[in-house]
Chain A
Amino acid sequence: MTNVVNEDYDVVIVGSGGGGGMAAYRLTSLGVKVCLVEQGPNQDPGEIPMFQRNDEAPLRAIGTPDKNWGYFDNGICGTWLPDQPYTSDDGVDFTWYRAQVVGGRTNHYARHSPRLGPYDFIQGDLDGLSPNWPVSYEEMKPYYDATEAVVGISGANTGMYNHPGTPEDILQPPIAPRAYELLMMASARKVGIPAFQRHNAILTRNLGDRMACFYATPCMRGCSIGAAFSSSTSLIPLANKTGKLTIVTRAKVCTVETGQDGKATGVTFVDTQTGVEGRIKARAVVLAASACATAQIMLTSGKNGSKDGIGNSSGQVGRNLTDTPAVRVTGKFASLENRPRYDEFGANMDHIYMPWWGYEAQKKGQMDFPRGYHIEVGQGFRDAPELNAMQQYSDRNGLVFGDGLRDEIRRHWGSFVYLDGRGEMVANDKSYCALDPDVKNKWGYPVLRFSFEWSDYEYNQIAHMQETFSTIIERAGGEVVSGLGTPKDEISKPGGMVHEVGTTRMGSDPQKSVCDPYGQTWDIDNLYVMDGGVLPTNPHKNPTLHIMALAYRNCENLAQRLKQGDI
C-alpha cells in the first residue's frame, strides 16, 4: 500500500490511533483533504480471529518475542520490536509498548473511559506541582459530549463532582456487574469508598453501523462488529465515507520537513518493508504517533546536527514523561470456592470501578501523596483458563498430582479477586525521553533513550492503595495473598501501563510548553500534536478519551484556520 505520495493534501496525520483516527474523522467531516500515515499494516476489521480458541494457536497463544501480548494480539505490537529498538539509562527499566496497525493502541486499550473533572484541569492551583491545563472542564465539556456520541459509551454516572457524567441521551445502559464485582462494590461502599458501574467504550446498544456487544470475545483482538470502540472500526470508516481520506500503511514517518520560512511542508517516511524513503506534502502536519514517537519525530527533524529538533524552543520536547503508577493486590476468598458457575465473561473488560474519593483530604494535607487513583477489579472466572495462569489454582497445597488434583483446581477456580490501583504520577525532571546519541535503527535514524524515576509521591500513593485494597478485600471476607510487598517492589514497571503522556505538553506559556492550548506547536503554526504528548498532566483517568476529545476540539481550530487561509 505504501508508495511515494505525490499528491498534495491539506493535512497529513501521522498515526491512526485515538488521536490520529479522531483527527482524520473530524477533519474529513469538515471538508479537509487528509492523508493518514500508519506505520503498521492494515488489519481488516472483518478478518479478526475473534472466536479462535487459545488452543487453536501455537503455544496456547501465550506471548512470545514475536507477539509480546499473545498470538492473537491485533497487529505488529509489543515492547520489543526487532527493527525498532530503544534504549534506557543505566538502572532504568522502561518498557515501551508500540501498537503498529491501523487503529494503533485503540485496538488494545481497556475501553475504560472516565472523563476528567474540573479539578484535573487546575492541579497548578490545587497543589502547585504541575501547571494548570490551558483549558477548563467547562470548555471541554461539549467536546467530551461530541466525542462520546461518536465513540459510544456505556455505563452509569457517579454524581460526584470531579467525575462528571455523560448526558443521558448519549450514555448507553451500563453492563450488569459480575458476581465478584457485586461483592467488591458492596465491600468498598461499606468501608466508605465509592463504587459504580464504569464508563466503557463498549456499545450496549447499536450505534450507526456498529452493533451492541454480544458478550463473547476478547476486545483486545479487535471487534468485527464494532461494539468495542477502536479507531479502525469506529472512526476511520466514517472518515472513509467522506471521500476525503487517503491511508498509507507500513510507512514509518521519520521527520517533519520544514521550508525556508520554518513552516512544516510535510513528512518524510520509510517504507518498512522495502526501506524505500518517500515524502508526503501537506499544508499542515498533525503528529499523533503516540507521545514518545511524536517526540522522537520532532527531535529527529530539522537541520542536520541539531540536537533540539523542531518545535522545541522551550526545550520541553521529550520532557515531562509520565506513566500510570499501578499495583495489584490479590485476595483469596474461601467463600467463592466451588461457587456456582455461570457465564462471567460479560463484556470482557471490567464493568465496575471505584473512582477517587480523597480530594478534600488531599486539600487539607491529610494524605502524603498529592494525586488520586482509581480501583479496577478483576479475575473471578471471567476469562477462559490461560496456560501461564493455572498455578494459582493448582499449587495451593504444594505441587500435588494424581487423584485429587482436578478437585483442587476446580475448587479454587474463580475464588481469587484482584484490585488494581491506577494512579496519577507527578512529572519530574528525571523522567523523559531523548534521542540516543549512539544507537540508530536499521534505517539510520536515532532511537529513543528513556530515563525514568518514580518519586515518593507515587510510592506513597502505592502504599495507600495497598492499605485500602487490603481493607476492601478483608471486609469482603477475603485473605490477601499477594501485592503487599514494599511499594518500590510492587509498583508497576515504568511504561508498563502504556499511559505515557506529556512529552509535547500544551500550555499557556511558550517557555514551558511545546504546544498552545489547541495543540499547535508554539514554534511552527502549521504543526499540531494530537496524541497523549499534549496532556499537561496524566490524571489516573485513562488517557484515550481525553486525547480524542482534545483532537476533536483542536481539529475544529485547524480546519477553521485552513479555511480562512491562515495556513
Chain B
Amino acid sequence: MAKLAIGSTPQRPIKLSRRRMIQLTMAMSALGACKPNSEIELPADGFAPWPTDIPIPKVTHAGYGQFPNYFEIGETGPWPKILSDLHKRQLEKFADLILPATDTAPAPSQIGIADFFDDWTSAPYPWMTDTRKTVHEGFVWLDRQAALMFKRDWLDLSNSQATQILELMQEASQEEGPLTQPGWMFRNLRELTIGAYYTTPEGEADLGHISAQPLVGDYPGPTGPALDHIRDLIVSLELDWDDLPVGIPSSKPIAPYVFNGDEPK
C-alpha cells in the first residue's frame, strides 16, 4: 500500500472503472425502484462533477512561532478558525462513518473531531492547504453526489446511503496512480480522522494503550499476562529465555550471558 503523504495533490479528473460503474448503476437502480419518476440521470463518468469555483478562505496567520508558550495555547488555539458550523456537521457525519461508535468507544464527533479539522484546515502551514481545499470543495461535491444518487443533501442521508457513497470513494482511493478528487478526499479525511481520534484519551483507551504513568521505583518491564505472553513466545521459538535480563535487577535469576563470537580476547 502506497503511503499517502498528507498534503499530496489530486492530479487527474474522475474516471469511472467498470466495476464501480456497475456498483453505481446498481445503487441508482435501487433508488430508481423507490422513486419511479426520478429524473436523475447517470453522468457519463458516474460521479457528480467536482466543483472548481468554491472560494477557499485565505489563511494569513504567521503561525505559532519557533518558541511558543506551551502552557498558554488557549481555548481557541493560535490561529483564527475558518470552518462553518455546516462544515463541522458534514465532517462529523463523515468521520462517524469511518470510525462508528461502539458500546465502549465514542464516535469521533463525540471527542471533538470537528474542532480538530477546524484547527487543521485553519493552520497556516503548507501541509494543510490541500485539506482546506478538499473540505471546502469536497462537501459541496458530496451534496451533489448525494443529490445525484438519493436526491438529498449529505447531512440528510441515512447511514446506509452515506455508506454507499463512501464505498465508491473508498474504491477510488485505492486505485493505482494519481487519485481522483473523491478518492483523495476519502484517503485524506480517513487518515486524519484515524490519526486525530487515536491521539485522544478515548482513542488510546479503545486501543488498550496504557499511557505512561509515573512510577516510584524501577520500571518493571512486562508483568502478568504480558510477561507470560512474551516468555511463551520466546520459548516456543526455541530461543533462550534463561539468559535474558527480565524485570527489575535481581528479580529473576539470570543465566550468565557472554558473547563468545568474533571478538579479540
Contact = CB atoms under 8 A, between A and B. Distances in A.
A402 B234 contact: no
A120 B208 CA distance: 45
Given A358-B262, A402-B100, A340 B198 contact: no
Contact of A187 (B66, B77, B201, B239): B239
Contact of A406 (B66, B105, B187): B105
A344 B208 CA distance: 12
A58 B239 contact: no
A388 B163 contact: no
B37 interface: no
Contacts of B168: none
Interface in A87-112: none
Interface stretch (B44-52, B82-90, B244-252): B244-252
B212 to A, nearest CB: 3
Interface in A181-196: 182-183, 185-187, 189-190, 192-194
Q: Chain A interface residue count: which class?
A: 35 or more
B262 A357 contact: yes
A278 interface: no
Interface string A164-205: 000000000111111110110111011011100100000010
B67 A410 contact: no
B3 interface: yes
A473 B218 CA distance: 29
B199 A401 contact: no
Contact of A357 (B6, B211, B263): B263
Interface string A211-254: 00111110000000000000000000000000000000000000
Chain B's interface: helix, strand, loop or mixed, by majority? loop
Nearest to B79: A58
A391 interface: yes
Interface string A340-352: 1111111100000
B241 A186 contact: yes
A215 B214 contact: yes
Nearest to A204: B218
Nearest to A185: B244
A411 to B, nearest CB: 10
A90 B58 CA distance: 34
Interface stretch (A30-38, A62-70, A322-330): A62-70
Contacts of B100: 402-403
A41 interface: yes
A347 B233 contact: no
Contacts of A76: 66-67
Interface string B214-254: 11101111111111111001100101110111111100000
A177 B102 contact: no
A452 interface: no
B188 to A, nearest CB: 11
B218 A55 contact: no
A403 B246 CA distance: 39
A177 to B, nearest CB: 6
A5 interface: no
5 contacts: A59-B123, A341-B209, A346-B221, A360-B264, A405-B99
Q: Which 5 A-B pairs have the closest CB atoms?
A: A176-B221, A345-B212, A387-B195, A194-B259, A186-B239
Interface of B: 1, 3-4, 6, 63-68, 70-71, 73, 77-79, 97-100, 102, 105, 116, 119-120, 123, 125-128, 163, 166, 170, 173-174, 186-187, 190-192, 194-196, 198-201, 203-204, 206-216, 218-230, 233-234, 237, 239-241, 243-249, 257-259, 261-265
Interface of A: 41, 47-49, 52-60, 64-67, 71-72, 75-76, 78, 81, 156, 158-162, 173-180, 182-183, 185-187, 189-190, 192-194, 197, 204, 213-217, 335-336, 339-347, 357-361, 381, 384-391, 394-396, 398-403, 405-406, 409-410, 413, 475-477
